[in-house]
């Protein structure tokens, strides 16, 4: 069946549909480790069945600093 995904959390990230019924989490701009060293978001996937089935996954994205040695 068809699945929809949504992203929740305060981060400069969004979720977009990709080919083959999959999704990608993408940044809306450059991430700055000085502002935030990590971002925590939750992805929720739901199908369109009756009753609807759903699942969620918590993601922690650690930001590296390109200036670190």
Given a cut of 80, is residue 41 above it in pLDDT?
A: yes
CATH 2.60.40.60 for domain 3-30+38-62: yes
CA–CA separation, 22 and 4 (whole Å):
9
Given a cut of 60, is residue 8 above it in pLDDT?
A: yes
Q: In the prediction, which pLDDT does 55 show? A: 96
| Per-chain mean pLDDT for the chain | 87
Q: 9-33, pLDDT tens digit by residue?
A: 877 889 998 888 888 989 888 888 8
């Amino acid at each position: 069946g068809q699945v929809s995904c949504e992203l929740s959390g305060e981060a400069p990230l969004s979720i977009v549909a990709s080919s083959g019924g999959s999704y990608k989490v993408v940044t809306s701009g450059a991430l700055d480790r000085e502002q935030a060293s990590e971002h925590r978001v939750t992805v929720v996937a739901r199908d369109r069945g009756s009753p609807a089935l759903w699942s969620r996954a918590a993601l922690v994205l650690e930001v590296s600093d390109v200036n670190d040695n």
